[in-house]
Structure 1
């Protein structure tokens, strides 16, 4: 489920919770509630606001955990690299094989469908990243 849909669900549930708790606060009669109509409304609104805030906090956390895009079917690979000084990093998301070696190339069906790469190099650092099969 996308992040957008999670937020729509979270806001709708919060508004629904506020309405239900406001109604509950108005129809419930306890001896310790104030006698005046305005004061009873104030207590009901405070009760509904507190409950809706709790619902929004929980659902807001849930909504923020969703990925920015729909969940990808298939295998996802995330690569991060950092090279400093004279460091060298080589990363391949898929298969890295030598075309001069005997035997067939690895099965293409096992290659990742979704690849995310992030690299940082400083000074004389070198980074080589390949998204997919590398020969």
Structure 2
């Protein structure tokens, strides 16, 4: 799942979690909340907000990449022969994973750079 869709899941899950906790707080099966309606709604709102914060924290951790693959990944499978060249560049930002599976025969050349590494100047 792409990162933007993960954040959509965070927003939806947090909203649904708040509504469920708020309704549960108004239901008050144990009789712990105040009898006055305005106080009951305030306490139910606080309970819903606390539960929404817990849900947002847990699902946000997943959406931020810590619970996923650790960020973007760069993968390549290649085979070169003769005087061919295989290059892989992870870009300027450090990806979560750089994976290259390459096979070279003859005078071939294989080069791999992960994100954030300085590029060599062109001659």
- 1:117 and 1:73 mapped to 2: Cα distance? 13
Q: Which residue of 1 aligns with 2:40?
A: 40
- 1:30 and 1:117 mapped to 2: Cα distance? 55
Poorly superposed stretches of 4+, deviation over 4 Å: 71-80, 93-98, 114-117
Deviations 1:32-61 (A, max 9, x none): 321100000011000000001000000111
1:19 matches 2:46: no
Structure 1 stretches of 5 or more lacking a match? Answer: 81-92, 100-104, 122-126, 129-135
1:28 matches 2:28: yes
TM-score, normalisation: structure 2: 0.61
- Which one scores higher on RCO, CA 8 angstroms, separation ≥ 6? 1
RMSD (CA atoms): 3.8
TM-score, normalisation: structure 1: 0.56
Q: Which residue of 2 aligns with 1:4?
A: 4
Change beyond 3 A, Cα 1:74–1:97: closer
Q: Which residue of 2 aligns with 1:64?
A: 64
1:1-135 matched pairs, under 5 angstroms: 1-65=1-65, 67=71, 78=90, 94=102, 99=107, 116-120=114-118, 127=120
| Length, aligned pairs only | 100
Structure 2 stretches of 5 or more lacking a match? Answer: 78-87, 93-99
Change beyond 3 A, Cα 1:117–1:7: closer
